[in-house]
Amino acid sequence: MSMRDKITTALKTAMKTRDTDRLAALRLINAAIKDRDIAARGEGGAEISDAEIITVLTRMVKQRRESARAYEEAARLDLAEKEAAEISVIEDFLPRQMSEDEIEAAVAAVVAETGAASVRDIGKVMGLLKTRHAGEMDFAKAGAAVKARLG
């Protein structure tokens, strides 16, 4: 089942159960995907792939985390909770995130495979990590692990 089908099924289920908060978040997901589809059509492509949908969802989670942090700083806990609820709905469709130990192991494997020895090789290592672990890894943490290993 493709990502689109999973999201559509979840949307229909939320409509039937009248889960308004989940329904609103799923509609936001659909809107973001359709927006990216339209941009891809302008570039001569068709519908975006599941990998690109994962990228869109990851970006949505990042945006909501930043918004929630800003709302908490502004003492708007009601809005921060709404953002957190949207994050949990979006994360239902993302692959499981790797733990710190798994990130370290993946970084060590790629460094060994590429023969990276200095800070100049960070780009090569990160590129390979992004290709292999898109949507599974927090690349901010991975970047720090790569720098620590090569720096």
Residues of the chain with CATH 1.10.1510.10: 3-91
Residues of the chain with CATH 1.10.10.410: 100-150
Question: Of the CATH numbers 3.40.190.10, 3.30.420.40, 1.10.1660.10, 1.10.10.410, which one belongs to the domain with range 100-150?
Answer: 1.10.10.410
Report, as ranges of residue numbers, the positions in the chain whose pLDDT lies below 70.
45
User: What pLDDT is attached to residue 88?
Assistant: 93
pLDDT digits (tens, 9 = 90+) for 53-90: 988 998 999 999 999 999 999 999 999 999 999 999 99
User: What pLDDT is attached to residue 42?
Assistant: 78
User: What pLDDT is attached to residue 6?
Assistant: 93
In this structure, whether the domain defined by 3-91 belongs to CATH 1.10.1510.10 is answered with yes
User: What pLDDT is attached to residue 26?
Assistant: 96
Going by the DSSP 8-state scheme, the letter that residue 2 receives in this structure is -
User: What pLDDT is attached to residue 134?
Assistant: 75
User: What pLDDT is attached to residue 95?
Assistant: 83
- Cβ atoms of 142 and 128 within 8 Å: the answer is no
